[in-house]
Structure 1
Amino acid sequence: MALTPELLLQGYAIGIFPMAEHRNDAEIFWVDPKRRGIIPLDGFRLSRSLRRRLRNCGFRVTIDTEFPGVVDGCADRAETWISTEIRQHYLSLFHAGHAHSLEIWEGDDLVGGVYGVAIGAAFFGESMFSRRRDASKIALAYLVDRLKMAGFRLFDTQFLTAHLASLGAVEITRAEYHRRLSSAIEAQADFTGHRIPSPQEVIQRNTQTS
Structure 2
Amino acid sequence: MYSDLLKAPKDSPVFLSEDLDPIFMLKAYSFGLFPWSTSPVTWWCPDPRMILFPKDIYRQKSIRRFFKFYECKLDENTMALIKLCADTRELSWIDEHFIKAYEKLLDLGFLHSLELYDKDELVGGIYGLIIGKIFFAESMVSIRKNVSKIAMIKLCDILEPYDFLIDCQVYNKHLEFMGAKAYKRKKFLELLEDMVQKDSGFTNFKSIL
1:180 is the counterpart of 2:191? yes
Task: Give the drift of 1:52.
Answer: 2.4
* Partner of residue 79, structure 2: 68
2:135–2:166 CA contact under 8 A, matched in 1: yes
* Partner of residue 48, structure 2: 35
CA-atom RMSD, angstroms?
1.4
1:49 is the counterpart of 2:62? yes
Superposition map of 1:78-157 within 5 A = 78-149=90-161, 151-157=162-168
1:14 is the counterpart of 2:31? yes
- Give deviations 1:132-176, integer Å, cap 9, x for gaps: 001111111111111113x14311000121111111011001101
Task: Give the drift of 1:187.
Answer: 1.1
Task: Please state whether the residue corresponding to 1:3 is helix, strand or coil.
Answer: coil
| Structure 2: distance between partners of 1:158 and 1:60 | 27
2:53–2:166 CA contact under 8 A, matched in 1: yes
Task: Give the drift of 1:36.
Answer: 0.4
Instruction: Count the aligned residue pairs.
Output: 189
| Structure 2: distance between partners of 1:158 and 1:66 | 24
| Structure 1: distance between partners of 2:24 and 2:123 | 32
Unaligned runs of 5+ in 2: 1-16
Unaligned runs of 5+ in 1: 197-210
Task: Please state whether the residue corresponding to 1:50 is helix, strand or coil.
Answer: helix
Task: Give the drift of 1:193.
Answer: 6.0
Percent identity among equivalent residues? 32
- What TM-score comes out, normalization by structure 1 length? 0.85
1:152–1:184 CA contact under 8 A, matched in 2: no
Which amino acid in the other structure matches residue 91 of structure 1?
Answer: E
* Partner of residue 39, structure 2: 26
1:152–1:188 CA contact under 8 A, matched in 2: no
- Give deviations 1:171-194, integer Å, cap 9, x for gaps: 001101101101111111126164
Change (3 A) 1:143 1:71: same
Which amino acid in the other structure matches residue 7 of structure 1?
Answer: F
- What TM-score comes out, normalization by structure 2 length? 0.86
